[in-house]
């Protein structure tokens, strides 16, 4: 998409009609201003549609990447257009949940169309009784099991990229790509 000269795009405000009456019948003045109208028509079209540029579902594809930088979202150019638009549109929600189980599951579902189950090896516990001994230290590893919700199995490199972007840096994330949700009848655990 380009906002350069579009052949045949009429100007909503032709300059020739705004000239004094002396130039209304002057062929040179009318042709000169018609040339300027051709250059200015895309500018008017862009300004008339400016609110749509700030809506991810309506923004031109080339502007969407720039809009993504405004909301601090990394979009992969290889993602389909509708996925990029959805990620930019939900940027604030994704930022709010970044680094959490919910955020990682949602990002995997949104970007890759994959289901995920996350098992935290953290060593966190609680008690209603004071003075209870601390739990043993966790191994700091997070297991992310991913499976396709529909269609083909997700690409391992794309899954790793999404997990690396959403997993807290102080944790080691291990990824397993499964053919279906864990615990399905008839599926061997391994």
DSSP string, 44-99: HHHHHTHHHHTSTTTS-HHHHHHHHHHTT----TTS-HHHHHHHHHTHHHHHHTTT
Give the global pTM.
0.68
Going from N- to C-terminal start, the domains of the chain cover 15-48, 56-96, 103-124+138-178
Residue 168: other Cβ atoms inside 10 A: 12
What's the rounded Cα separation, in Å, for the pair 113 and 154?
8
Instruction: Give the angle subtended at the CA of 170 by the CAs of 164 and 176, to the nearest 5°.
Output: 45
pLDDT at 189: 45
Pair 145, 180: CB distance under 8 Å: no
pLDDT of residue 152: 83
* Residue 151's pLDDT band (cuts 50, 70, 90): confident
Residue 165 has pLDDT above 60, yes or no: yes
Tokens 């990824």: give the residue.
Answer: 175
User: How far apart are alpha carbons 90 and 143 in whole angstroms?
Assistant: 25
Q: In terms of Cα–Cα distance, which of 90, 46, 82, 42 is closest to 61? A: 82
Question: For the segment 63-120, what is each residue's pLDDT rounded down to a tens digit?
Answer: 899 999 999 988 888 888 999 999 999 999 999 998 888 999 999 999 999 999 988 8
- Per-residue pLDDT of 44-79, as tens digits, reads 888 888 899 899 999 988 889 999 999 998 888 888
HEC sequence for 113-167 = CEEEEEEECCCCCCCCCCCCCCCCCCCCEEEEEEEECCCCCCCHHHHHHHHHHHC
Q: Which two tokens stand for residue 134?
A: 């601390």
């Amino acid at each position: 998409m380009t906002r350069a000269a579009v052949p045949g795009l009429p100007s909503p405000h032709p300059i020739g009609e705004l000239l004094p009456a002396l130039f209304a019948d002057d062929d040179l003045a009318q042709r000169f201003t018609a040339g300027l109208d051709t250059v200015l028509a895309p500018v008017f079209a862009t300004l008339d549609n400016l609110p749509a540029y700030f809506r991810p579902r309506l923004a031109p594809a080339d502007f969407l990447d720039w809009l993504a930088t405004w909301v601090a979202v990394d979009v992969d150019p290889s993602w389909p257009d509708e996925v990029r638009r959805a990620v930019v549109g939900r940027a604030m929600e994704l930022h709010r949940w970044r680094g959490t189980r919910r955020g990682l599951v949602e990002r995997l579902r949104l970007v890759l169309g994959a289901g995920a189950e996350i098992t935290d090896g953290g060593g966190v516990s609680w008690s209603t009784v004071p003075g209870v001994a601390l739990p043993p230290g966790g191994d700091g590893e997070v297991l992310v099991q991913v499976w396709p919700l529909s269609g083909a199995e997700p690409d391992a490199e794309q899954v790793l990229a999404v997990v690396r972007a959403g997993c807290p840096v102080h944790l080691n994330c291990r990824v397993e790509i499964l053919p279906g949700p864990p615990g399905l009848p008839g599926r061997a655990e391994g």
